[in-house]
Amino acid sequence: MNTEKLISDFLDMMAAERGAAQRTLESYDRDLRQFFDLLPLDSLSAYTPEKIAEAVRALNRKYAPRSVARKISAYREFFKFLFSEKLIDKNPTAYIDTPKQSKPLPKFLTEDEIRRLIDAAHARREPHRVRTAVMLELAYACGLRVSELVSLSENSINQERREILVRGKGSKERVVPISERAVRAVKEYEDFVRDSFIKAGRRSIWLFPSLRSASGHITRDMFFVSLKQLAVEAGIAPERVSPHVLRHSFATHLINRNADLRSVQKMLGHEDISTTEIYTHILPEKLIETVKKLHPLAKKPE
């Protein structure tokens, strides 16, 4: 049994038909190789539900529920592929239970902390700092994932309509409104700074090009490091600041200001609204305000 070829064919399908991102493909590849190391059998038919359940029990003893759930998801997709290709008669992962896991509440910054970050970013006018400032404003103004942010194309922003075209997970596109302030910041960056990150005589399709990155645009890690440095300058603990925290802050602040949950879902690019609903559980100040305003017993006696 050539497991290398099976995994390779599966990854090719995920890339071509599902539009899976490179990091997703790398994760599938890693999890499936580990699976076959953990459960080396002679033929595909030997992978019964009982055998796979045995492997999952071994994973449960070694990894956190979140990691095990991700690995099981990879197994399900892989064996579903084998079944569709008629390489197996039954999908042995169809009834494998995923470990229950508590959903951690998203971490976010206060509106004041976001303002301090932005002020710190604009305090210096070096090209790298200007680029970081614009990326920070876009990440917070539009709730972008870091992968979406760094790979924005040069023409992704319609400045007249104040909209940004985002290519999200699975290459799905969505249009997100962008603030006038963020539009101005992007225009200033494009007019005076962007060309300093492009080799002379060359062109770039990326909004945030890089002279050193193999991809041609700034990397996730580079932006991550820049944010940490910015947090220190803004007087915020760097461990509290990350690109995803900016995305969480975007959603939290909108909902705290009574934004419609469906609208936030669309802007974040969530397929399932239950993913967006987690933001409704992290607003104690809003809840306290609502109770004080509306609950009969909270009113002062006349």
Could you report the per-residue pLDDT of 229-282, keeping only the tens digit for each?
999 999 999 999 999 999 999 999 998 888 888 999 999 999 888 888 888 766
Helices (H), the chain: 3-17, 22-38, 49-62, 65-84, 111-122, 127-142, 146-150, 180-192, 220-233, 243-256, 261-268, 273-276, 284-294
Q: In what order do the strands lie in the sheet with 163-167?
A: 157-158, 163-167, 173-177
| pLDDT recorded at residue 282 | 60
- Say yes or no: 79 and 128 in one domain: no
Distance CA 214, CA 302 (A): 70
- Say yes or no: 138 and 56 in one domain: no
Distance CA 262, CA 77 (A): 29
For residue 28, give the CATH number of its domain: 1.10.150.130
| pLDDT recorded at residue 238 | 95
Distance CA 147, CA 243 (A): 10
| pLDDT recorded at residue 287 | 54
- Say yes or no: 73 and 160 in one domain: no
| pLDDT recorded at residue 114 | 96
Rounded to 10 deg, the angle between the 127-142 and 220-233 helix axes is: 100
- Say yes or no: 58 and 121 in one domain: no
For residue 241, give its domain range: 111-286
Dump pLDDT digits (tens) for 23-78. 899 999 999 999 999 999 889 989 999 999 988 999 989 888 888 999 999 999 99
The pTM of the full predicted model, rounded to 2 decimals, is 0.67
- Say yes or no: 74 and 120 in one domain: no
For residues 110-135, give the mean pLDDT. 95
**293, part of any domain:** no
The answer on pLDDT for 121 being more than 90 is yes
Positions marked active-site:
145, 169, 244, 247, 270, 279
Distance CA 99, CA 299 (A): 45
Identity of the amino acid at 72: I
- Say yes or no: 49 and 192 in one domain: no
- Say yes or no: 140 and 52 in one domain: no
The answer on pLDDT for 288 being more than 60 is no
**Confidence at 138, pLDDT banded by 50, 70, 90:** very high
Burial 279-289 (b: 16+ CB within 10 A, else e): beebbeeeeee
For residue 168, give the CATH number of its domain: 1.10.443.10
For residues 7-22, give the mean pLDDT. 90
| pLDDT recorded at residue 283 | 57
- Say yes or no: 141 and 250 in one domain: yes
- Say yes or no: 124 and 77 in one domain: no
**271, part of any domain:** yes
Q: What is the percent of the chain where pLDDT is above 70?
A: 91
Q: Given CA atoms 92, 95, 101, 107 in this order, what sign does their dihedral have?
A: positive
Q: Last residue of a domain, which of 65, 84, 103?
A: 84
Average pLDDT, the chain: 89
- Say yes or no: 213 and 125 in one domain: yes
Dump pLDDT digits (tens) for 146-166. 999 999 999 999 999 999 999
Structural domain tally of the chain?
Answer: 2
Q: Given CA atoms 245, 248, 253, 254 in this order, what sign does their dihedral have?
A: positive
For 99, list phi and psi in degrees, rounded to 5: -60, 140
**Confidence at 289, pLDDT banded by 50, 70, 90:** low
Dump pLDDT digits (tens) for 162-209. 999 999 887 889 999 999 999 999 999 999 999 999 998 899 999 999
Chain length of the chain: 302
